[in-house]
């Protein structure tokens, strides 16, 4: 019997959260081993479990997968979240890459100097409203379907929903000019596997707080 | 008949160079339309040709593709340089993502403030010799094959060899303890398509000059 994937990362969102989202959306149960100390990271590194000495790392199907995008691609392909052909896959790729650029700003935000954090929220909002959301609003408006690509759930929908919800935590009215994205948010959130992930008690992690930031510094700073 | 892919970027390496390497290695002829002024970039944006208002952009097979990784993924798949199954793809992905991390450090070096440059170069050298090159040397050693994945040429080999040329530009001595990587570099460089791309007069771009850097900063409205 196949064992569950096992995620190695600190107990917080960071770069692993997208992986948690996609596994959850695909209905795949997983285990987590939380990194709390430098010594634990050292142990993983010394044991040659981390190809480039870094996390995220996911033990899955006999592999120790590292590099966030590799992990996301593997899970997406395995669980039919990557489109039905090369053209759909390519659209999904472009959408995901753009969304990950925006998500990157959110991931890095807690680690900015406090003085820079407020300015960065403004930057995130501008990028979302001017560069990213209009693209997806247009895609949804033009084909009128529930999902971004190929009329079925894909990696692109999951990563976009993750990003929208994370942005809404900081900027509650961020979707005010995007009616199709508002509808998208509701519809994708209501997919049973995703709905379950959004309920309390799931493996979805809360917004990063001071404890998380301190833990990360303790583990990763030399 | 499909036209040649057309690359939209400034006349320099930047994020487009990996795409040039991959196309050239796959034996695909391509055209380039260089962005020379901020107005050129504005026009591309205003005409709606750039999905996220950014370059690289490659016109290929009826699409205006953006996002470097998406473009590389498409080319690699189309020209059978992406492994034979999901497991090979996972290995190729891991390797190329690691390479991209190191490549980004080297790529961003010209943008580094002068007072931080020395420290940045030291960091690049340290990561090269301690984190990245040992991994790929070990992969080659472990299976003794000519290529990183699946005993045949893939994007992983092409992207690694490209990176090794940049590593040499930073400091040739960095390659000293990696005999299998040196052999891979020679082997891949001697493939007819790659050999052609390495010759003068090809579309391969040189390291960025001070003048090109200033021009690029103007185009992208940096600083």
pLDDT-derived band at A1, boundaries 50, 70, 90 = low
Shortest CB distance from A132 goes to which of B52, B66, B69? B52
Q: Are B22 and B58 within one domain? A: yes
Q: Which of A53, A63, A69 sits opposite B69 (nearest CB)?
A: A69
ipTM attached to this prediction: 0.96
Residues B75, B84: Cα–Cα separation, whole Å: 15
Give the pair of three-digit tokens for residue B218: 């103007």
- The DSSP result for B61-75, as a single string, is TTEEEESHHHHHHHH
CATH of the domain at B35: 3.40.30.10
Q: Do B97 and B183 share a domain, yes or no?
A: yes
| Residues B147, B97 share a domain | yes
Q: In what order do the strands lie in the sheet with B31-34?
A: B31-34, B6-9, B57-60, B63-66
Residues in B touching A156 (Cβ below 8 Å): none
Count CA atoms within 13 Å of residue B49 on its CB side. Answer: 19
The reply to whether residue A74 touches residue B86, judged by beta carbons under 8 angstroms, is: yes
Q: Which residues of B touch A (CB under 8 A)?
A: 51-53, 63, 65-70, 73-74, 77-78, 86-87, 89-90, 93-94, 97-98, 101, 131-132, 135
Q: Is residue B201 very low, low, confident or very high in pLDDT (cuts 50, 70, 90)?
A: very high
Q: For residues A47, A51, A54 and A56, what is the CA-based torsion angle, rounded to 10 degrees? A: -100
Report yes or no: A155 and A19 within 8 Å, Cβ to Cβ. no
Q: What is the DSSP letter of B205?
A: P
How many CB atoms within 10 Å of residue B152?
15
Q: Specify the pLDDT at position B51.
A: 98
Look at residue B40 and tell me if it is in a domain: yes
CB contact under 8 A, A94 and B51: yes
Give the pLDDT score at A222.
Answer: 79
**In the structure encoding, which two tokens stand for residue B199, read together?**
């010759």
Cα distance from A97 to chain B (closest Cα, Å)?
6
Paired tokens of A97: 């890459």
Residue A56's closest chain B neighbor by CA? Answer: B94
Instruction: Specify if B1 maps to a domain.
Output: no
| Beta partners for residue A8, in sequence order | A33, A57
Cα B89 from chain centre: 18
Q: Could you tell me if residue B129 is inside a domain?
A: yes
Q: Give the side-chain half-sphere CA count within 13 A for A164.
A: 25
Nearest residue on chain B to A133, judged by CA atoms?
Answer: B52
- Our CA-based measurement puts residue B66 at a distance from the nearest CA of chain A, in whole angstroms, of 7
Q: Are B124 and B158 found together in one domain?
A: yes
Let me know whether B155 and B185 are in one domain: yes
Q: In what order do the strands lie in the sheet with A63-66?
A: A31-35, A6-10, A57-60, A63-66
The answer to whether residue B34 is domain-embedded is: yes
Specify the pLDDT at position B80.
98
If phi > 0 it is left, if psi is from -120 to 50 it is alpha, else beta; for residue A63 that is beta
Segment B192-221 shows an average pLDDT of: 95
Question: Which one, of B56, B68, B51, B58, lies nearest residue B28 by Cα?
Answer: B58
pTM of the model: 0.97
CA-CA distance, B108 to B100, in Å (whole number)? Answer: 12
Per residue in B59-103, pLDDT (tens digit) is 999 999 999 999 999 999 999 999 999 999 999 999 999 999 999
Residue A221 binned pLDDT confidence (cut-offs 50, 70, 90): confident
Cα distance between residue B190 and residue B198, in whole Å: 9
Is B41 a residue whose pLDDT tops 60?
A: yes
Q: What is the nearest CA distance from A138 to chain B, expressed in angstroms?
A: 11
Instruction: Assess whether B149 and B202 both reside in one domain.
Output: no
> Region B101-121: what's the mean pLDDT?
95
Provide the number of CB pairs (under 8 Å) joining chain A to chain B.
Answer: 74
Q: Are A93 and B89 in contact (CB < 8 Å)?
A: no
Closest CA to B82 of B12, B149, B127: B149
Query: Are residues B207 and B154 part of one domain?
Result: no
Please report the pLDDT score of residue A207 as a whole number.
97
Number of domains in chain B: 2
Asked if residues A185 and A161 have their Cβ atoms less than 8 Å apart, the reply is yes
Domains of chain A plus CATH, in order, are: 6-79+198-210 (3.40.30.10), 86-190 (1.20.1050.10)
Assess whether B163 and B93 both reside in one domain: yes
pLDDT tens by residue, A12-41: 999 999 999 999 999 999 999 999 999 999
B209 shares a domain with B153: no
- Is B27 part of any domain? yes
Paired tokens of B86: 């999901």
Residue B171 is assigned to a structural domain of this protein: yes
Is any Cβ of chain B less than 8 angstroms from the Cβ of A126? no
Which letter does DSSP use for residue A147 in this model? S
pLDDT at position B1 over 60: no
3-state secondary structure of A21: helix
Same domain, B178 and B96: yes
Q: Choose from A48, A79, A97, A155 for mutation: most chain B CBs within 10 A.
A: A97
- pLDDT(B23) > 70: yes
Q: What is the pLDDT of residue A96?
A: 98
Residue A119 has pLDDT above 70, yes or no: yes
CA distances from A148 to A53, A135, A139 (A): 35, 11, 7
Instruction: Give the CATH number, domain containing residue B139.
Output: 1.20.1050.10
Residues B70, A94: C-beta atoms closer than 8 Å: yes
Report CB contact under 8 Å: A90, B51: no
SS3 call for B6: strand
Same domain, B99 and B15: no
pLDDT of B2 reads 65
**Partners of residue B156 on adjacent β-strands:** none
Would you give the DSSP letter of residue A47? Answer: T
Whether residue B144 is found in the same domain as residue B203: no
Domain coverage including residue B70: 6-79+198-220
Which residue do the tokens 């944006």 mark?
B45
CA angle B196, B201, B205 (to 5 degrees): 90
Terminal-residue alpha carbon distance, chain A? 40
């Amino acid at each position: 019997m196949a064992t569950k994937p096992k995620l190695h990362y600190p107990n917080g969102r960071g770069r692993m959260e997208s992986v948690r989202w996609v596994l959850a959306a695909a209905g795949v149960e997983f285990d987590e081993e939380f990194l709390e100390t430098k010594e634990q990271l050292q142990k993983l590194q010394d044991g040659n479990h981390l190809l480039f000495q870094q996390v995220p790392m996911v033990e899955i199907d006999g592999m120790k997968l590292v590099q966030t995008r590799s992990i996301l691609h593997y899970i997406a392909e395995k669980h039919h979240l990557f489109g039905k052909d090369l053209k759909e896959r390519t659209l999904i790729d472009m959408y995901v890459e753009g969304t990950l650029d925006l998500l990157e700003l959110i991931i890095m935000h807690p680690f900015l100097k406090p003085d820079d954090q407020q300015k960065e929220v403004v930057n995130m909002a501008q990028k979302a409203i001017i560069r990213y959301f209009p693209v997806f609003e247009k895609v949804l408006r033009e084909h009128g379907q529930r999902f971004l690509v190929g009329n079925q759930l894909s990696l692109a929908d999951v990563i976009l929903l993750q990003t929208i919800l994370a942005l809404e935590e900081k900027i509650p009215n961020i979707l005010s000019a995007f009616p199709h994205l508002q509808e998208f948010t509701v519809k994708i959130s209501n997919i049973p596997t995703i709905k379950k992930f959004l309920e309390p008690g799931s493996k979805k992690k809360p917004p990063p707080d001071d404890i998380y930031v301190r833990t990360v510094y303790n583990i990763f700073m030399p | 008949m499909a036209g040649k892919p057309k690359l939209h970027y400034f006349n320099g390496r930047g994020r487009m160079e990996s795409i040039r390497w991959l196309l050239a290695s796959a034996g695909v002829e391509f055209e380039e339309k260089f962005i020379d002024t901020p107005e050129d970039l504005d026009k591309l944006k205003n005409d709606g040709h750039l999905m996220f208002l950014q370059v690289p952009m490659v016109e290929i097979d009826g699409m205006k593709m953006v996002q470097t990784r998406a473009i590389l993924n498409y080319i690699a798949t189309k020209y059978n340089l992406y492994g034979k199954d999901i497991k090979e793809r996972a290995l190729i992905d891991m390797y190329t993502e690691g390479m991209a991390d190191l490549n980004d450090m080297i790529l961003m070096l010209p943008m580094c403030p002068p007072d931080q440059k020395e420290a940045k170069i030291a960091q690049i050298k340290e990561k090269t010799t301690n984190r990245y090159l040992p991994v790929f040397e070990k992969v080659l050693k472990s299976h003794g094959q000519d290529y990183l994945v699946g005993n045949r040429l893939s994007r992983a080999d092409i992207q690694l060899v490209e990176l090794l040329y940049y590593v040499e530009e930073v400091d040739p001595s960095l390659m000293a303890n990696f005999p299998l990587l040196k052999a891979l570099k020679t082997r891949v460089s001697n493939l007819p398509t790659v050999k052609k791309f390495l010759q003068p007069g090809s579309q391969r771009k040189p390291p960025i000059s001070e003048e090109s850097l200033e021009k690029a900063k103007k185009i992208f409205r940096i600083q």
